[in-house]
Amino acid sequence: MSETEDKDSKTEEPTEKKIKDALKKGQTASSREVPLLVSIAAFTIYLIFSGKSFIDTAFVFLRNIFEQVGTLDIHNTLDANNLFTAVASQFVLLITPLCVLLMAGGILSAVAQNEPRMVLNRIAPKASKLSLIKGWGRVFGKQGMVEFAKSVSKLLFCGTVVFVTLYSSPQQLLNGMFQEPGSYGDVVTNLMEKLLISVCIAMTLIAAADYLWSRYSWRENLKMSRKEITDEHKQAEGDPLLKARMRSIARDRSRQRMMEAVPSSTLIIANPTHISIALRFDSESDEAPVVVAKGQDLIALRIREIASQHEIPIFVKVELARALNKAVQVDQIIPPEFYAAVAELINTVYKRTSTVTG
């Protein structure tokens, strides 16, 4: 019941991440009928363009062997090996083009369906594959029954096509038996071409239906529930609570570094109770005054407290404090429009310092 409910809850289309993860694991939409169709089509093409040449070459070769049966000297193992090598070599030369064509068709059908990729997990040995119970479930489970139904339907459909194609052929075969042996090959070749073309047409329909079904079934199996999408989003973006905690830690560390920089400031500009701006200006290293710390309310009070502890001058300038607080961030140089007002305060600090020193 839980499995049914879980499956029913997967109503959402798979995300890009889910699809990419499935492809990395080798879970692709692949039709088994497409390679079979390509193999039959390749054999049909070979038969149409090279079938007559194949039969003629084989006929001549076999005729030569039979004509030389009385002259062949086979007295030992070496003679037998030589004869076998000659026959096998000729046979390999005859079937090599067909094998190459079938291999090329198989590779092309696989590449056309899915992008080639190396998935070692699919070929790694797994103990679960040896389980008789799981194997029985795969064979007689839902997927196994679907494959069985597809095989039966394919057999019936192709069988019907073959029967219709060969229905009028017996008389043609009987007539060919009264012809010369060499010409009977043409009769068989023509019949095979007709049969294979009919099978190719039938397999094209089957392969097209199976290809569409495999794509549909693959995508249906990848569908996700709303919870899975939410969990994936959290995993990708991060848990909101954890992110909030990390932002809080980052702010605390930034505030700590800011407070540690207050003793290096030259002066503090304050709005008596709400805002404090700590500025540093060193004529040898700074082009213009730099904001080393700023804050409001409790942070502003803490900045002024640290400034008092280190005897840093505090100037109460309400409008200037508000403007600087809006316009400048920590570790930034103040804008040019504030140069005059701040320069006046810095001169006041230098004068006080000079007076105390004097």
Q: What is the per-residue DSSP string for 310-323?
A: TT--EEE-HHHHHH
* The token pair that represents 311 in the structure block: 């005897």
Give 130's DSSP letter.
G
**Residues 208-211: contacts with CB under 8 Å, at least 24 apart:** 210/31, 210/32, 210/33, 210/34, 210/150, 211/31, 211/33, 211/34, 211/113
The whole-number pLDDT of residue 5 equals 44
The answer to whether residues 162 and 285 belong to one domain is no
Mean pLDDT, rounded, for 35-39: 85
The answer to whether residues 326 and 269 belong to one domain is yes
Tell me whether residue 195 is in a domain: yes
Q: Which of 174, 189, 221 is the last residue of a domain?
A: 221
Tell me whether residue 257 is in a domain: yes
Q: What stretches of the chain show up as alpha helix (H) in DSSP?
A: 2-9, 16-24, 33-67, 77-113, 120-123, 132-140, 142-166, 170-176, 181-221, 226-237, 240-261, 298-309, 318-327, 339-357
User: For the ranges 25-29, 238-242, 283-287, 315-319, which has the lowest average pLDDT?
Assistant: 238-242
The answer to whether residues 159 and 37 belong to one domain is yes
Mean pLDDT, all residues of the chain: 78
Distance CA(324)–CA(279), nearest Å, equals 10
Residue 282 main-chain phi, psi, to 5 deg: -120, 115
The whole-number pLDDT of residue 81 equals 80
The answer to whether residues 145 and 214 belong to one domain is yes
Residue 118: pLDDT band (50, 70, 90) is low
Percent of the chain exceeding pLDDT 90 equals 0
Residue 21: pLDDT band (50, 70, 90) is confident
Tell me whether residue 236 is in a domain: no
Q: Which of 221, 251, 286 is the last residue of a domain?
A: 221
Residue 292, CA atoms < 13 Å, CB-side half-sphere = 21
**Residues 227-235: contacts with CB under 8 Å, at least 24 apart:** 227/9, 228/10, 228/12, 229/12, 229/15, 232/15, 232/17, 232/18
User: For the ranges 80-84, 131-135, 219-223, which has the lowest average pLDDT?
Assistant: 131-135
pTM reported for the whole predicted model: 0.48
170 vs 192, residue with greater confidence: 192
The answer to whether residues 57 and 180 belong to one domain is yes
Tell me whether residue 124 is in a domain: no
The whole-number pLDDT of residue 238 equals 60
**Do 227 and 12 touch, CB atoms closer than 8 A?**
no
Mean pLDDT, rounded, for 160-176: 68
Tell me whether residue 249 is in a domain: yes
Does position 4 have pLDDT exceeding 60, yes or no?
Answer: no
Tell me whether residue 238 is in a domain: no
Task: Supply the CATH number for residue 306's domain.
Answer: 3.40.1690.10
Does position 198 have pLDDT exceeding 70, yes or no?
Answer: yes
The answer to whether residues 144 and 95 belong to one domain is yes
The answer to whether residues 284 and 152 belong to one domain is no
The whole-number pLDDT of residue 2 equals 45
Does position 236 have pLDDT exceeding 70, yes or no?
Answer: no
The answer to whether residues 271 and 310 belong to one domain is yes
Tell me whether residue 19 is in a domain: no
The answer to whether residues 74 and 174 belong to one domain is yes
136 vs 321, residue with greater confidence: 321
Tell me whether residue 122 is in a domain: no
Nearest Cα residue to 323 out of 306, 335, 314, 305:
335
Considering its fold, how many domains does the chain have in total? Answer: 2
Residue 238's region, left for phi above 0, alpha for psi from -120 to 50, else beta, is: left
Distance CA(357)–CA(271), nearest Å, equals 29
**Do 138 and 144 touch, CB atoms closer than 8 A?**
yes
The whole-number pLDDT of residue 14 equals 83
Q: Which of 154, 186, 221 is the last residue of a domain?
A: 221
Residue-range definition of the domain harbouring residue 343: 243-357
The answer to whether residues 257 and 214 belong to one domain is no
The answer to whether residues 108 and 217 belong to one domain is yes
Mean pLDDT, rounded, for 290-299: 88
Helix (H, G, I), strand (E, B) or coil at 330: coil
The answer to whether residues 167 and 257 belong to one domain is no
